[in-house]
Copies of this chain bind each other. A is one copy, B any other.
Amino acid sequence: MAKPNVIKKEDLITAAKECLVEKGIEKFTLRAVADVAMVTQGTIYYHFRTKEQLLLEVVKDICDGSWKELSQINEDVISQAIISAKSRCSHDSFFHKLFLTLVVTGFNNDKIREQLGNILMQENEALSKSILKLWTKSPIEGVSIETWGVFLNAIVDGLALQALVSKNCSIENTFEELEQLIIGLDRLTNLGDGK
């Protein structure tokens, strides 16, 4: 009956992610995860002592992934931001659905919230740092370059949220204009330099 050494923790985490996106936190049941991973519930308990633990490891996994991604962003903020935004909204709504689901779950789970809070902060910082390399001064007086990172991050998340909620997305269009916005801001910066 026992088939040792077949399933890895990673597989279970992947299955858990799938369930979270597919069914939402409300119906995120260990039976569902077990079914997707084609294992028994007992197996899940062998690897994670509790449901919450599994959830936490899902969060950790996402954070680690996000961290890896961030550490590779170096220069081209614009394209990077747009790509990231698009990827999260359209062809890969998976990630953003998962992310928002966990954020909301975090409202009532400090451990989760803390971890997610960290990546958001890191994202902000990474964006700010990258922008600093591009812009010598802020395109708009009164808005520090650091804060531009926060705004950019916020706008990407906000658009993602809209995309997830509104099916009929003229979102494609919006993203093009987001690109234009950044180009425009860039230009403003140089303009200021030129003076």
CA distance A121 to B162 in the complex (A): 8
Q: In the complex the two chains form, is B97's CB within 8 Å of A151's CB?
A: no
Check A181 against B151 for contact (C-beta < 8 Å).
yes
Is B164 within 8 A of A103, CB to CB? yes
The answer for the CA separation of A26 and B105 in the assembled complex, in Å, is 8
Report whether B103 and A161 are in contact in the complex, using a CB–CB cutoff of 8 Å: yes
Check B162 against A147 for contact (C-beta < 8 Å).
Answer: no
User: Given B161, B165, B177, which contacts A147 in the complex, CB threshold below 8 Å?
Assistant: B177
Q: Is the CB of B166 within 8 A of A117?
A: yes
Chain B residues with CB under 8 Å of A159's CB are: 150, 154
Bound: A165/B166 CA distance, A: 23
The answer to whether B106 and A27 have CB atoms under 8 Å apart is: no
- 18 A-B residue pairs with Cβ-Cβ distance under 8 Å, sorted by A, are A25-B104, A26-B26, A103-B104, A103-B161, A113-B167, A117-B165, A121-B166, A140-B180, A140-B184, A140-B188, A143-B177, A143-B181, A147-B173, A153-B158, A154-B155, A154-B158, A155-B158, A157-B162
